[in-house]
Structure 1
Amino acid sequence: MDLLPEILEKSKPITTVTEIDFKTFKKEYFNKKRPVLIKGFAKKWPAFQKWNFDFFANLEIQDQIEMEIGNVLNKETQLEEKDVKKYLEKVRDKGMEESEDKTYLTAYQIFADFPQLLDDVDFSYLNKVTADDVPAVWIGPKGTITGLHADDHNNMLAQIVGRKLMIVASPKFKNQVYPSSKFDYGAMLSQVDINNYDEDKFPEFRDIEFLRVDLEPGDVLFNPKDWWHYVKSSEASISTNTFAYTWKDLLILRPIERIKISMHHRGWYKKNNCTCCSN
């Protein structure tokens, strides 16, 4: 069964502010590891004025990358190599609103090839309290899903085009999400596919207290490390985010992550049980 409607009916709205200064952000949300939605925070960014599907489709992108098809975090991993520029042109020209093709350009590190795009965004509130970050963009049609998971680093996500629905849950519900053994770089996954919920296998999942997030163009969400979240695009969408590491993360977490990914690529760790290789 699709449990999402029930979750949305029971969920509470996330803490939302319309204005926030850096001192308040650091004291009340970053230090306390509390998520917050900042309404309209990105509307002053150049990205909000410039970025659309035409903008990205017209960039001289040469990349061929594997893109996710469907919910690869909580189901079987399906990936397909596509030409990024042709994909962007397809989203631009057709919208893919009614298409069954839910291929998703996820965590695309476009800033590495086009560093000038960093001038279009402003993640300085998070950058001021962290030591390193990895910015990315997310582009896809209506209906794309990022399954339930928890990142092991802090995340600030800005919605630029289109709308997304998110639900988030505190780390205290870790046992009730039924953590998966599936390997995903930088994240812990849930076994539960919210849109195909099996109550017999995951009976305690319904006890989780979710918060609802309605991301509209210009909104920015701070989602602290270890908070569980699920994302579904309500419209064709362009988002940008940064994954940020503290000094502690750099000294302890990142070396462990790199060891795991190195072992995985050599077939010594979670072979054929991952989100980076098609099943």
Structure 2
Amino acid sequence: MDSGLSIDPTLSLEALPRVTAVAAPSPEGFERLVAAETPVVIKGLADAWPALAAGRAPGTMNAYLKAMDTGLPGPVMEAPASSNGWYAYGPDLREFSFSKRNAGISQTLDRIEGLLGQKDAPFVAIQMLPLATHMPEFVRQNPMPLVAAKVTPRLWVGGPLRTQTHNDRDHNLAIVLSGRRRFVLYPPEQVSNLYVGPLENPPPLSLVDPEAPDLARFPRYRDAYAAARVAWLEPGDGLFMPKHWWHHVTSLEPYNAMVNYWWGDTAVGLERPVDIFQIALLALKDLPEGERGYWREMFATYVFGDRGEATAHIPESLRGVLGTLSPAQRAALKQQLKMAVLRSPT
């Protein structure tokens, strides 16, 4: 790293508190973990999977996966050796440090294995491969009863990569098959302390390197670090991350394989929070400060505050949109908003 960086050696990832670890729960127990909205490591979650037995060495794991390959091309990412395996932004924040393309899965697995131990080799990875379409036999052989049957896994295979801090709109259950992984986790409310890049270039990434944070450039990161925790995963371990938790992921071995399950981002249309957030940016961000203060308090009181406290003085029958919405009220409100959008000038 640049010796001119202002790095505090006390901000060690090794010193972070560990994410709580539990034994594999029942489906009902897992539902309670999800409802708690807190990350948790599930030890030995995939110990009975055939995939875990195959993952003890790159050759055996690759052979296991290739035997189930349907031949469909899938998403492959590649970064040059000069990136040191850091999947992050490029210098101008408009592009990333890696390229993305579709390629043959078996051929890419062979290439990943062939690059092991080579000097100045690029960092190649299969990421987010939908196994239901590309390796349906994997899904059959390695069931996950903790999630709904319609939630199917995705595969991640590659070398010693670092994926820069980002978050997901879904809940995430990640299970390591080969190698070891480290997840550094930050609560959703730490967004202002993570110095996140442009929203127009998804996924938005933090600009801070948590392994060597430049505190002169990113002084608020100290607060994000104070709220962070870390998970160290061995083969067979799972990590549940609630939606919107920020996470920095490091693959710690020359060869690593993982599957994950995403679910929970089911809202559509006018009920999608991300779209409402963008409408708020359009409508509120550039208002005069006095008006911004008014709407800030309206949101704090009626959206994010104690709804019962805010409306206790209004008879229940008169609370309207401030109360518990009936199906008819929800439909009427959505229709009203649709008409407002139609009247909006371009």
State the TM-score, normalized to the length of structure 2: 0.64
Counterparts of residues 1-279 of structure 1 (less than 5 Å): 1=1, 6-27=11-32, 29-50=33-54, 52-58=61-67, 59=69, 61-63=71-73, 65-69=75-79, 70-75=85-90, 76-77=95-96, 78-81=98-101, 82-96=103-117, 100-127=121-148, 133=151, 135-141=153-159, 143-183=160-200, 187-195=203-211, 197-208=213-224, 209-235=227-253, 236-245=255-264, 247-248=266-267, 252-253=271-272
* 1:99 CA drift (Å): 5.0
**Contact 2:77–2:124 (CA under 8 A) maintained in structure 1:** yes
3-state DSSP class of the match of 2:249? Answer: strand
- Which stretch shows the higher mean deviation, 243-252 or 116-125? 243-252
Residues 55, 133 of structure 1: alpha-carbon distance in 2 compared, 3 angstrom cutoff: same
* 1:89 CA drift (Å): 0.7
Distance 2:210 2:250 in 1: 11
3-state DSSP class of the match of 1:202? Answer: coil
CA RMSD of superposed structures (Å) = 3.1
3-state DSSP class of the match of 2:153? Answer: strand
Q: Which amino acid is 2:123 matched to? A: K
* 1:12 CA drift (Å): 0.3
**Contact 1:57–1:85 (CA under 8 A) maintained in structure 2:** yes
CA offsets 1:162-201 (integer angstroms, 9 cap, x no match): 111111111121211122214455x542222335633222
Distance 1:4 1:18 in 2: 36
* 1:50 CA drift (Å): 4.0
Identity %: 24
**Contact 2:51–2:64 (CA under 8 A) maintained in structure 1:** no
Structure (1/2) with the larger strand percentage = 1
**Contact 2:87–2:161 (CA under 8 A) maintained in structure 1:** no
Structure number with higher relative contact order (C-alpha < 8 Å, ≥ 6 residues apart):
1
Residues 249, 118 of structure 1: alpha-carbon distance in 2 compared, 3 angstrom cutoff: farther
* 1:56 CA drift (Å): 2.3
3-state DSSP class of the match of 2:126? Answer: strand
